[in-house]
Every structure is written in C-alpha cells, then in structure tokens.
C-alpha cells in the first residue's frame, strides 16, 4: 500500500536522463520512493493513506549540503568581516566553540536544522573539527537534536593528533595578539594521541552510526597541518572497516601551500594512500592542473565551498577544471558565519554565476550542473548515489516541494533555471526525509516548540556568548 502520494507537481527527477515530468506524482511506501510518473496514472494505480497536493510546484530531491559546520551558527553577524582565514579561525570561531556549553550546542543544532529544512535540505555533512574528546556531551546533545528533528546527517568526528611546532605556535601568538581579551586556549587545545583519536572515532561510530538510518558518523581529520600521516591513514582504514568515508579540509589557504613546499597537498595525500573513493576533500582552492588530474585519476570527490572562500578571500577553487576533468564535485555551505546561510540552492546559484564571471565564459557551470552539485553529484560524493540525490523508485524518499507561484519566479519555463537563479529560500513548502513528512506548509512537524521561540532564545544566547568570549 502507498503511504504518501505527492501529486500535481513538476517532478524534477534528477535521474540519469534528468527527466522533468509535468503534472507528475511521486508515490512513497515506507522510507522509499515506490513509483514516479504522471499524476493521472499514479492516482489510478495507488490508494495512498495521505495525499499531498504540490499545486503545480516543483518536486525535487532533498538537497544535500556536503560540507558544513553547525555550532557556530550562533555567531552569525557578530564580528568584523575584514578577516583572513587564520584571523577568523583563531580569534572568532575557536574561542566561541571552546566557550559554548552543551545546551548551547544543542540550541545551535536546532536553529541550524530549522533553517536547513526550510531551505529543502534533507542531508548535511557536519565537520566537527573542534571536537573536544574529553567532553562528548555537546556531541550527544547535537545528535539527539538531529534525530528528533528527523533530518539525515553525517557527523564528521574531528581528529587532531599533531602537536604544533614552534613556528605554528609563533604564528598563533601573532594572530591572537589582535584581540588578547578573547578566550584563547592555545593551539594544542584539541590534540590527542593518534591511537586514542582513532579509537575514539571507532567508539563513536559503534555507538551512533546507523548504516540504514538517518545518522552516520565518519572520521574527519581536521586539516593536513593538524593530523599526522598515521592519523590520516588510520582514518581511511576506519572508513574501509565501517563502510563510511573520511572528510578533511585540504588546500584552503595559501599558507598551507607554503607549509608543504614542493609537495602539494594532493600529492601528499596520494603518496600516503589517502586519496580515493573513501575521501571527500573540502575546499581544494590551492590546487593546480596536476592536482586536478590526480583527483580525477584517483576518483576522489571534492566539496566546493564557494561563498565561504569568497568571504575569507582565499581564492577560486579550480572547479571548472575539476568538472571538465571528471572530478566528482559537490557544494557545501561551510560555516554559517561566513556564508550567512545554510541554503544549498543559494550557494549553487552563486557557484553558477561567480565562475562565469571569473572565467569570462558564460558557458561554464550551467544551471543544470549546479543543481547536480547539490543533488545527484552530492549524493555520489558522500557515497550514497544508490539511495539519495534523485527521485527514482527504490531510492530513499527524501523530497522537497517548492511553491513556484511567486512573482519573482514567474514566468518559469525551465524549473531548473528557476531553482538555481530565482529562488530565495522561502519557497519550500513540504519536506520528506526517509518517507516521513518533516515539514508541511512550512510548519515543522517534529518540533514541540514554536520556531519563533527558538529564534528568540537563539538571539539571547548568541548575545551572551559573544559577550562572554569578547569577540572584537
């Protein structure tokens, strides 16, 4: 028996043929899509327990945010924007995260999920690179929130096992001199022994990872500068053992290129055996043509963090070359305090527009490819091509319905063009995740508190946090 029938919509399937079905319908049974086709046919062939009328709107795969950070959403708009990467990292992000209490992490997670669901996001990959293994209560509280909200998530458990050398300590002191009044705890605050770090990640996977459910846990070496080769290789072995992936920040800033010298970050990962199908590399801004070839040859996936990299002025990742060479590339909104939104469609529009201007070529990254990067390509990049990223029978029923009957979306002869270049983030009406209706008519069914109450609480808590940390 069909549980849910979404009908009278424009179905943007994102299947291999990229079919668009006008006046279409999607049938859902249990946690999976059971049929896709014309509304007339599926109305005749099914007897759904519940019918959702899309009213001519777009029915799309649930969006996938392939690289993001959750807890620092409470710092949105709270600091000077004129900061480069390490200034922002050491003087804003880390001091605040070290100061946050478990209940504040949980509140940030709830705020994040509200915004994500209201943008049509059903899956996100969180990089918990500031994870304090001595206190896992924030992690537990956040994972509880994700489970309660019903969103699909990957928790990247941060690994740092490299003790900072004297040069890095000196750099840290020089950068944090900008605001000595802030809560700086030192550059080795999160460092643990390699074996301990890997054992910790394995234990977290054993406890929280659900291969068939909505909750996943991956090993996440923070950066190449903060993890040893043993940790990177150990993380990859864990990924193979538990059938998950690794995710790492790679080649984000010019400083990293200078630190590596003659050997690029991508060459280094190749040499130690950490490229390949289990690796998801974020940023990859400071990469050249040889690096791109190595990524393609090793079938290593990349996450493009366009807006965050623009905000920190780290540069344009060579994403056009990556796509042309066959590198599987997804989009991640990265830090909500750099991007100021967690809406993948917003980033996809920026990616499709910005690279045209940078390359002076209006043909690069067309709207359809940008949409792939937050749906089917993103699903493949996180190892879930067989279950997510398109509306096809047998796949998980992660679906969003958008209202296209808006002045700023009219006329809309091409729904993909409209989704990428026209939407503003408020058009999502209904969201299903794993076959469950999480949001309908913009009301999130999995919440007991009102959205307005959460927003008010987040505003107050954020103000207190910024004052405690003394962010300048």
Dihedral sign, Cα of residue 276, residue 279, residue 280, residue 281: negative
Q: Contact, 365 vs 324, CB < 8 A?
A: no
pLDDT the model gives residue 472:
66
pLDDT the model gives residue 144:
98
Rg of the chain over Cα atoms, rounded to whole angstroms, equals 22
Lowest mean pLDDT among 100-104, 317-321, 333-337: 333-337
Is 90 exceeded by the pLDDT of residue 1? no
Is 90 exceeded by the pLDDT of residue 254? no
Domains, the chain, ranges and CATH?
4-62+388-442 (2.30.40.10), 70-381 (3.20.20.140)
Cα 179 versus chain centre, distance = 30
Q: Contact, 87 vs 178, CB < 8 A?
A: yes
pLDDT the model gives residue 259:
59
**Tens digits of per-residue pLDDT, 287-310?**
999 999 999 999 999 999 999 999
Is 70 exceeded by the pLDDT of residue 29? yes
The torsion angles phi and psi of 159, rounded to 5 degrees, stand at -125, 130
Q: Contact, 4 vs 32, CB < 8 A?
A: no
pLDDT the model gives residue 301:
98
Average pLDDT, the chain: 95
**Tens digits of per-residue pLDDT, 203-222?**
999 999 999 999 999 999 99
**Tens digits of per-residue pLDDT, 151-171?**
999 999 999 999 998 988 998
Share of residues in the chain with pLDDT > 90 (%): 88
Question: What average pLDDT does range 125-129 have in this prediction?
Answer: 96
Q: Where residue 258 falls among pLDDT bands split at 50, 70, 90?
A: low
pLDDT the model gives residue 188:
87
Question: What average pLDDT does range 387-408 have in this prediction?
Answer: 97
Distance from C-alpha of 117 to C-alpha of 21, rounded to nearest angstrom: 24
- Rounded to the nearest 10 degrees, the angle between the axes of helix 194-208 and helix 229-242 is 20
Is 90 exceeded by the pLDDT of residue 257? no
pTM value is 0.97
pLDDT the model gives residue 107:
98
């Amino acid at each position: 028996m069909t549980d849910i029938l979404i009908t009278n919509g424009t179905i943007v399937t994102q299947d291999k043929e990229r079919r668009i079905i006008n006046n279409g319908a999607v049938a859902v049974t249990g946690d999976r899509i059971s049929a896709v086709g014309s509304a007339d046919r599926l109305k005749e062939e099914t007897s759904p327990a519940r019918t959702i009328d899309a009213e001519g709107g777009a029915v799309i795969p649930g969006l996938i945010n392939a690289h993001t950070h959750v807890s620092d959403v409470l710092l949105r708009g709270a600091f000077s924007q004129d900061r480069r990467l390490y200034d922002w990292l050491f003087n804003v992000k880390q001091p605040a995260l070290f100061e946050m209490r478990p209940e504040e992490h949980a509140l940030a997670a709830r705020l994040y999920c509200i915004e994500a669901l209201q943008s049509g996001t059903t899956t996100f990959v969180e990089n918990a690179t500031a994870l304090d293994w001595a206190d896992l209560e924030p992690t537990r509280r956040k994972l509880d929130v994700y489970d309660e909200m019903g969103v699909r998530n990957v928790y990247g458990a941060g690994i740092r096992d490299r003790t900072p050398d004297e040069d890095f300590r000196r750099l840290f002191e020089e950068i944090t001199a900008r605001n000595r009044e802030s809560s700086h705890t030192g550059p080795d605050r999160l460092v643990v022994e390699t074996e301990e770090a890997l054992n910790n990640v394995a234990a977290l996977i054993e406890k929280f990872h659900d291969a068939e459910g909505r909750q996943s846990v991956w090993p996440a070496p923070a950066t190449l500068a903060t993890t040893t080769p043993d940790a990177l290789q150990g993380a990859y072995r864990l990924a193979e053992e538990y059938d998950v992936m690794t995710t790492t920040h790679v080649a984000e800033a010019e400083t990293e290129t200078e630190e590596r010298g003659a050997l690029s970050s991508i060459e280094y990962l190749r040499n130690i055996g950490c490229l390949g199908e289990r690796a998801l590399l974020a940023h990859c801004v400071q990469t050249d043509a040889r690096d791109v070839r190595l990524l393609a040859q090793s079938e290593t996936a990349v996450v493009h963090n366009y807006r965050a990299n623009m905000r920190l002025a780290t540069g344009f990742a060579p994403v056009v070359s990556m796509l042309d060479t066959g590198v599987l590339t997804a989009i991640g909104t990265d830090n909500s305090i750099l991007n100021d939104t967690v809406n993948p469609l917003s980033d996809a529009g920026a990616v499709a527009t910005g690279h045209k201007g940078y390359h002076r070529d209006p043909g690069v990254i067309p709207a359809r490819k940008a949409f792939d990067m937050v749906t089917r390509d993103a699903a493949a990049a996180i190892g879930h091509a067989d279950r997510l990223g398109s509306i096809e029978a047998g796949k998980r029923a992660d679906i969003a319905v958008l209202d296209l009957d808006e002045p700023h979306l009219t006329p809309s002869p091409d729904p993909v063009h409209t989704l990428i270049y026209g939407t503003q983030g408020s058009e999502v009406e209904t969201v299903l995740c794993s076959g469950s209706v999480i949001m309908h008519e913009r009301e999130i069914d999995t919440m007991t508190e009102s959205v307005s109450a959460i927003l008010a609480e987040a505003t107050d808590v954020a103000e207190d946090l910024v004052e405690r940390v003394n962010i300048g």
